[in-house]
Amino acid sequence: MTSAPTHVADTAAAASPAIRRWAILALALGGFGIGTTEFVAMGLLPNIADTLGVSEPTAGHVISAYALGVVVGAPLIAALTARMSRRTLLIGLMVAFTVGNLFTVLAPSYGLLMVARFVAGLPHGAYFGVAALVAAHLAGPRDRAKAVGKVMLGLSVANVAGVPMATWLGESLGWRTAFAVVVVIGVITIVALVRYLPALADMRVTNPMTELGALARPQVWFTLLIGVVGFGGMFAFYTYLNSALTTVAGVPVSVVPVAMMLFGLGMVAGNIVGGVLADRSVPLGILIGLVSTAVSLALFALTLQNAWAAMFFSFAIGLSGSSTIPALQTRLMDVADDAQTLAAALNHSALNIANALGAWLGGVVIAAGHGYRSPSSMGAALAVAGVVVLGIALLTQRRGRQSTVGGVATVLDR
């Protein structure tokens, strides 16, 4: 087993393959920490509520505060830091993330905890956006989507390992311990980025006005809408998975974490598979991911009374849903032209909106009396809607290239 290299190259081209691998691993570690802090609060709401003397629904607002930080921070930070070195920016974002989680650990009141969670969420989207661009730059054109998938893999692994570990510690030693673990992960990530990330002097920087130009590109909006609508289907399923398994499939509460872990393992596999597909064809990778998500969600709803089938499709939905992420992130790089940082960061604002949209629509159909199968059926419809948006985007893109010979097949081959 070889030791990690310590030399930090000035450019990606000057970096050895070993340095590139360690740099991408450091970026993924940051994603692991972000994924852990994003989801661990969901399992610790009763503990947080008891400690701070508020109701559990009120404590749930800390999750909304974090999501709001993501939505606000992604475009704001990406635009305002456009001139900054990508290496410096990534290290700075991880420092801000770590400080936000430290404030979470130390927050003495509910109000200050809300502020701390908002601050912790601010770097989330910008970090993933810039990390994806840097990973693609380090890997080169042929393997860029796989590199993006590896960075996003940290987020998926967090659902399998980081969140259960932090939740267990939080329940055993107090909820603040869970976020203290995230602080430790953040510090380790900062050290790894400082040590292994190349200076990236060959990465182009822009300016705020250039980055804001992404908002004037229809294909950027189309891609973001695909993420909001298509990915919302997976969140409609995931939000109500616990109740669906216990009330319809008859799964014991003690077995529900197994289904959650299978879903997380599916997400890990999906990021790997999605990266491979996207390196062959970005639009085709999105199409396959959305179609397989729709099919998996529909089959989950149809077979929910069978516990074994429910377990299998929990894995399949995690795989198919997350397989779209590397392709969506890569497509935003392609269509944003010289405003890639803002566009890449906006992807994570879109995914957080998808989270809120899916959970809300799932709740609507349950409240309408359609039962706990209905969120998955609604999710399948959302995934199909994402396919429709993709089709409109590709047709619009084709019409904008009338001088180029070829049809839809040519576009799909890109």
Beta carbons within 10 angstroms of residue 269's beta carbon? 19
* Residues 6 or more apart whose Cβ sits within 8 Å of residue 129: 74, 78, 341, 342, 343, 344, 345, 346, 347, 348
Q: What are the structure tokens assigned to 394, written together? A: 């590709």
Closest CA to 321 of 362, 259, 379: 379
First to last CA, the chain: 38
Quickly count helices (H) and strands (E) in the chain: 19, 0
* Residues 6 or more apart whose Cβ sits within 8 Å of residue 176: 104, 105, 170
Handedness of CA 123, 128, 134, 138 (dihedral sign): positive
The C-alpha atoms of residue 58 and residue 37 are separated, in whole angstroms, by: 19
Tens of pLDDT along the chain (414 residues) come to 445 555 556 555 556 778 888 888 999 999 999 988 887 877 677 788 888 888 766 777 787 788 888 888 888 888 888 788 888 999 999 999 999 999 999 999 999 999 999 999 999 988 988 888 888 888 877 777 788 878 878 877 887 788 778 878 887 888 899 999 999 999 999 999 999 888 777 667 676 777 777 777 888 899 999 999 888 888 788 777 877 888 888 888 778 778 878 888 898 888 888 888 888 888 999 999 999 999 999 999 999 989 899 999 999 999 998 889 888 888 887 887 777 777 777 887 888 788 778 878 888 888 888 888 888 999 999 999 999 999 999 998 888 765 444 444 444 444
The C-alpha atoms of residue 383 and residue 377 are separated, in whole angstroms, by: 10
Q: What pTM did the predictor assign?
A: 0.76
Sketch out the chain's domains with CATH numbers. 13-205 (1.20.1250.20), 214-414 (1.20.1250.20)
